[in-house]
Amino acid sequence: MDLARLTDRVRGALLGGALGDALGWPIEFQRLDRIRIEYGPDGLTDLADAGRGGQVTDDTQMTLFTAEGLLRGGTPEDLHAAYRRWFATQRLPGPVRNPDGWLSGHPFLYASRAPGNACTSGVAQSYRPAAAFGADGPVNPHSKGCGTVMRSAPFGLIGLAPAEAFRQAAVAAQLTHGHPTGYLAAGAFAELIARVTAGAPLRAALDAVLVRLDAEPAGLETAHALRRAVRTAETEPASAEAVERVGLGWIAEECLAVAVYAALAGADARAALVLSVNHSGDSDSTGAVCGNLVGALYGLAGLPADWCALVEGRETTLQVADDLVAFAHGDRAALADRYPLPGAPLPAAPAPAPVLAPEPAPAPTPRRASAPAPTDPGGRTRFRQRD
């Protein structure tokens, strides 16, 4: 694939994820009937109608910090350090004067919008090496929330072979989620992104991922979820009800399956994104994962341009995409200032003030009182307690 086409796909994958995140965020935690009452029988179909100015959430934030961890060394320890930098953005009002790296200097990343419990509790712990695949991981061993999948697209965008993208994403997912389904679903998504970005048709890429999952004894839940998504897309008209038969996205394998279903059933990127968020579940995460996938499939040129113009932090997201492409082509020298390697001195901050001009971000819109926080099947409140 020529460089221009590859760049378009990598840019599409990252900005597409932000699009889906921004589209799903206003209706996350709302039931489908409430969404239809508020936005009409087709649900929320236009980012301009979302009322939050294209805001992104922890899904986009953690994806960008995953990319940063890969660009600043790429080891599991480097990814852990990157996620710790993300965790700092959730506790501080804005960038410090000399932030640890270029990405941490962007004010829009300091918004805290319902980050998942397993992600925050996991990165708060010291680094612990991953377990062998199939065993419970050392951190949050019973958690398989979608926080593993929603941040893992960059492993498929940095030029790794599909099998290596799978391995590295699954290892890094164990930094926060130890359930084998949770981390293997992240690996499956990274491999899927790697194959689609390289030009494979979506169904062919899925078939290859399913072969790998079938070979993993702990991969069966994710394989079953993906096969359910394919079967539903092939046998039923596209609808929100069909999405909910595939899953609600709270757990990793269902989040991936909903995204795959929407990408298969939607006629284009816009239709897929609308399908991926209009349901009673974790709408911003399913939207983000679907956006990563359709962005890699259709490229930036295939995404709705009017929506792209609204996305918070879009220039930063596109710069990170370009940096991933440069890194994949061996151009490390151009990235040294933005992504210092461990032990390298940080670039001095310009005086007298802030390191970067802030990208304007609209004031957060309170969640509507008419949409009570739903509970999962175990009765636990889901608002601000996602995994």
Going by the annotation, the residues of the binding site for Mg(2+) are 57-59, 282, 284-285
In the three-class reduction of DSSP (H, G, I as helix; E, B as strand; rest coil), residue 210 is classed as helix
Burial track 299-322 (b if 16+ CB lie within 10 A, e otherwise): bbebbbeebbebbbbbebbbbbbb
In the three-class reduction of DSSP (H, G, I as helix; E, B as strand; rest coil), residue 375 is classed as strand
DSSP 8-state symbol, 329:
T
Yes or no: say if 64 and 109 are a contact pair by the CB < 8 Å rule: yes
Yes or no: say if 294 and 266 are a contact pair by the CB < 8 Å rule: yes
C-alpha–C-alpha distance, residues 150 and 20, integer Å = 11
C-alpha–C-alpha distance, residues 281 and 102, integer Å = 34
C-alpha–C-alpha distance, residues 374 and 382, integer Å = 6
Numbered residues of the known binding site: 57-59, 282, 284-285
Yes or no: say if 130 and 138 are a contact pair by the CB < 8 Å rule: yes
Which residue intervals of 128-251 are DSSP H helices?
162-173, 180-197, 202-215, 220-235, 240-246
Give me the phi and psi of 321, to 5 degrees please.
-60, -45
Q: Which residues contact 269 (CB under 8 A, 6 or more apart)?
A: 16, 294, 295, 297, 298, 302, 303, 304
C-alpha–C-alpha distance, residues 309 and 297, integer Å = 20
DSSP 8-state symbol, 151:
T
CA 244 to centroid of chain Cα atoms: 20
Dihedral of the alpha carbons of 122, 128, 129, 133, in degrees to the nearest 10: -40
